[in-house]
Amino acid sequence: MKISFKYIIIMFLVALLGSGIGTFSIMSLYNKTNKQNGSVGNVVINEVEYTNIEKNDYTQAIEKAVNTVVEVSCNVRSAGNSFFFFNGGNSTSTSTGSGVIFSSDGYIITNEHVIDGIVDEESIQVKLYNGETYGAKLIGYDTRTDLAVLKIGADNLPYTQFANSSTLMLGQDVIAIGNPLGLGISCSNGIISALEKEIYVNDVYMTVIQTNAAVNAGNSGGGLFDINGNLVGIVNAKKMSSITSSVEGMGFAIPSDTVIRIANDLISNGYVKDRAALGVRVYRANSYYQTSGVVISQVIEGGSADIAGLQPNDVIIAVDDQEVESYADLSKILDSKAIGDEVIVTVNRGQETLEFNVTLQSSSN
């Protein structure tokens, strides 16, 4: 069968025209699709709006807890540098931390070390999550548990719900909410890394919860919450190292069961009631000439030590034959005693070593 050259030319032109129309249609469709999705150069931008995001456990827990966490700040005394301050005077700095709202009528829980060395109560400021700021009054504090209670003049506040810290489990999800570095309220998540962990903080041995949730300076006094948004602890410390500035993943919190008990005592009495005490005030830090033992700074009139015959400047070196080298040692021994227990207190007085039988009374400060 013969096919003329003219017929071949016509068929080629028809095929070429069809190919061009097909290519144009495909490019039109491609450009139309890109325009709908949005495009910049060769980058396609998806403009689909996510309207069905579901709240997960963390979202719901934070939503419940975040409004109950506050920022705390106050002016505190800083040890002066003798090269810059005559007679080694003092300078003033701003201490920033966190707190949690304990009750709807304005009681706030924070750490004692946040307000330690406070210049005056007028400087205490509490900032709520909604931005409102109030002056606060110091109700009471307890150095042995590193807890303090403040009061602001506000009502109908959202307040923290507490979980039972004695039921916590290793590996349980937790959320730390606070004011790290004074930059405002933020959240971090982690797990319970250890329970009933004994640490040494500010000359006191404490039993705390350990977490790997990120905590930094300023988180002190903030909350550690469970996945239900209930408070399991008050954040108070982070492991530090002499080699590096900090150790990551080792934060600590005071258990909620302790927090509730101490806070209620501070609100009711201004101090922790029913705690065995010697009836003395002591210097928490040793001086350059006193490197061992604890020096009595004041004997409380009518207290246990006063009745037994202890005096200011006596150096406590042992209680019931347990050596006392620091305030931490003395605190740990007294924590193991009960009101009414009789203990033998050994002191150095000048060149003499004396022993006193002391019947422990209730703490009143």
Per-residue pLDDT tens, the chain, 365 aa: give them: 455 555 556 665 555 555 555 555 555 555 555 444 444 445 444 455 555 567 788 999 999 999 999 999 998 886 544 333 333 445 788 888 999 999 999 999 999 989 888 888 889 999 999 999 999 999 999 888 899 999 999 999 999 999 999 899 999 999 999 988 888 899 999 999 999 887 777 667 788 999 999 888 888 999 999 999 999 999 987 765 555 555 677 889 999 999 999 999 999 988 888 788 888 888 765 555 566 788 998 898 888 999 999 999 999 999 998 999 887 788 878 888 888 999 999 999 999 999 999 999 887 65
Q: Supply the pLDDT for residue 204.
A: 72
Name the catalytic one among 142, 146, 226, 314.
Answer: 146
Residues in the chain: 365
If you write DSSP's letter for every residue of 98-153 in order, what string do you get?
Answer: EEEE-STTSEEEE-HHHHTTBS-GGG-EEE-TTS-EEEEEEEEEETTTTEEEEEES
Distance between CA atoms of 333 and 200, rounded to whole angstroms? Answer: 14
pTM for this prediction:
0.67
Give first-to-last CA distance, the chain, whole Å. 120
Q: Supply the pLDDT for residue 87.
A: 38
- HSE (CB half, 13 Å, CA atoms) of 60? 7
Q: Supply the pLDDT for residue 180.
A: 86
Residues 6+ apart with CB under 8 A from 3: none
Distance between CA atoms of 178 and 190, rounded to whole angstroms? Answer: 14
| Residue indicated by tokens 């719900």 | 161
Name the catalytic one among 165, 188, 220, 363.
Answer: 220
- For the question of residue 113 being annotated catalytic, the response is yes
Q: Supply the pLDDT for residue 21.
A: 55
**341 to each of 138, 304, 313, 361, 362, how far by Cα in Å?**
32, 11, 24, 8, 11
3-state secondary structure of 342: strand
Distance between CA atoms of 72 and 114, rounded to whole angstroms? Answer: 8
Q: Supply the pLDDT for residue 213.
A: 92
Q: Supply the pLDDT for residue 288.
A: 52
- For the question of residue 91 being annotated catalytic, the response is no
Asked if 69 and 109 count as a contact pair (C-beta separation under 8 A), the reply is no
Rg (C-alpha) for the chain, rounded Å, is 33
**280 to each of 169, 277, 283, how far by Cα in Å?**
39, 8, 10
Name the catalytic one among 113, 165, 186, 226.
Answer: 113
Q: Supply the pLDDT for residue 120.
A: 83
3-state secondary structure of 347: strand
Q: Supply the pLDDT for residue 181.
A: 84
CA-based nearest residue to 304, from 316, 293, 292: 316
- For the question of residue 336 being annotated catalytic, the response is no
Q: Supply the pLDDT for residue 91.
A: 77
